[in-house]
Amino acid sequence: MLTDARRIGVVGNCVAGKSTLVESLKSLGYQAVNIPQEHSVSPRFWRRVNPDFLVYLSCTLEVARSRRKIPWGQERLDEQWAILTDAREHADMRIDTDPLEKEDVVKLVLAELMATAGTTKE
């Protein structure tokens, strides 16, 4: 049984892997939440969730298109990255998911959660 009670927030651009990561963490007993920051008009929307640990995921347009059929282009991705700036700057962990399989992303996050267990934010 996991004893890590931290609330883990996950932000990132569309198709970066947020839902997949959150589902995986929840299945392992973590309190994880997908924060749809990239669709918010407020650059600080993620703060309303008040996560104890914030993960920022990103991927390029090319990789996003290989993962899912999307009707938008680089301009929209750039807009998402702009609205995610505050979250990115405050993230405890940033992951470029382009070269990674979903299992690799989960392993990276789990390793960081284990490494930082018992620590608190100042």
Residue 81 lies in a domain: yes
pLDDT for 82-93, tens place per residue? 999 999 999 999
Q: How far apart are CA 52 and CA 11, in angstroms?
A: 13
| Domain span holding position 70 | 23-101
Task: Classify residue 61: in a domain, yes or no.
Answer: yes
What per-residue confidence (pLDDT) applies to 72? 92
Predicted local confidence at residue 103, as pLDDT = 97
Nearest to 31 by CA among 8, 55, 50: 8
Q: Is residue 10 part of a domain?
A: no
Instruction: Provide the domain count of the chain.
Output: 1
User: Does residue 33 belong to any structural domain of this protein?
Assistant: yes
Integer Cα distance of 1 and 3 in angstroms: 6
Give the pTM: 0.92
